Structure 1
Amino acid sequence: MTELEKMLSGNLYFPSDKQLTALRKQCRQQLDILNSTCQTQHKQRSQLLKRLFGSTGKRLYVESSFKCDYGQNIHVGESFYANFNCVILDAAKVTIGDNCMLAPQVGIYTATHPIDPVQRATGIEFAKPITLGDNCWVGGMAVINPGVTLGNNVVVASGAVVTKSFPDNVVIGGNPAKIIKQIEPQRDVEN
């Protein structure tokens, strides 16, 4: 297996591999263009994101500065929005559903390292995929850790550190995050 194949399959891999290094460099070049494009140039920014990400819905908007490792492992649904200074470390697949919003300085991190110090010192790492269901709202400075899956309609409180998965229709917060309350979605909303 190549280091890229190892990375995407959740096995230990060396991020210093030439192919992975080249992919990250290519991503950073695309990010430099995106982050230097004026916020009022919505169409151009959207086109740049659609080339950067693995897949997207028709409508998406990401404020600058945005950072990620590869871009191609990020898959977002319809009406995706990420506010300022979002970081997505996408060494594994990141799947974000429809109508999701990320507040400023949200971190979504698939990459992780061995706990054993000798093994960690070699530079080896591994990654676990992250999934956010439809209609998720992640508050400012929240962190989503490797391997987490959030159900539909989940609200993550500002500053939360999400270390485990949660079901649909909950508000979570704290460090580590826990369920604060259940959400009863309204079926009919009148204007």
Structure 2
Amino acid sequence: MTLFLKKIVLNIIGLPTRLYNFFVLKYKGVVYATYPRISGRIFISGPGKIILGEGVQINSNLFSNPIGGDTRTLFSVFKGATLSIGDYSGFSNIAISCKEKVTIGKHVKIGGGVKIYDSDFHSLNFEDRKNPKTDIPIIKPIELKDGCFIGAHSIILKGVTIGKESIIGAGSLVTKSVPDGEIWGGNPIKFIKKI
């Protein structure tokens, strides 16, 4: 089969996924500077606001990343919350739960299986958790500044800011902010070196 025919066949096979993504973005009111490059199906829940910059790349399937993927990309953006992703940022099979605000800068790379949560989801007090009326989580915004890189399978928790061009090692638990231009990693996260 010629290269031209292979491209036609691949486009026909991928058409349902591209249509699915188009309608999901349209239905959820996602605002984008340019239509994002999406590999696989993206999943979006919640009525919150999502803003995508120019050239955003989203991998959301098992085969779009050489490390594989145990999940798909999921954006859960709650009422009144805003998820903003800057120009030319990209990620694979990540989950973002945004109850207030998650801001991802320009040229940010986020590795496969990363989780980003701006909330504890539940109260930290046992007595409060027993009653749905008092089970109120702590919520704090998250910011990933321009050019930072988050290693695969890391977890970023509420209130964290990752500095400009900083690197988070794979599998890290990020519970505190990281300054610009540094490498941090581990569980719990700790300073490794300056870039």
**TM superposition score category, shorter chain reference:** 0.5 to 0.7
User: Considering only aligned residues, what root-mean-square deviation do their CA atoms show, in Å?
Assistant: 2.4
- In 2 relative to 1, CA 45–61 (structure 1 residues): closer, same or farther, beyond 3 Å? farther
What is the distance in 2 between the residues matched to 1:45 and 1:59? 19
> Do the aligned residues in 2 keep the contact of 1:163 with 1:177 (CA within 8 Å)?
yes
Counterpart for residue 130 of structure 2: 121
Identify the match of residue 135 of structure 1 among 142, 147, 158. 147
Residues 134, 153 of structure 1: 8 Å contact kept: yes
Aligned residues: 144
Alignment correspondent of 1:108? 116
| Match of residue 99, structure 2, among 91, 95, 100 | 91
Larger radius of gyration, structure 1 or 2? 2
1:66 corresponding residue in structure 2: 73
TM-score (norm 2): 0.66
Tell me, which stretches of 5 or more residues in structure 1 are unaligned?
Answer: 1-35, 184-191
| Aligned residue number for residue 10 of structure 1 | none
In 2, the alpha carbon distance for the partners of 1:139 and 1:111 equals: 21
Instruction: Supply the AA of the counterpart residue of 2:50.
Output: G
Cα distance in 1 for residues equivalent to 2:130 and 2:88:
41
Q: Within 5 A, what are the aligned runs for 1:107-186?
A: 107-112=115-120, 113-123=122-132, 124=135, 125-183=137-195
Distance 1:161 1:173 in 2: 8
CA distance in 2: counterparts of 1:46 and 1:120, whole angstroms: 34
Structure (1/2) with the larger strand percentage: 2
* Long gaps (5+) in structure 2: 1-15, 33-43, 61-71
Highest RCO, 1 vs 2 (Cα 8 Å, sep ≥ 6): 1
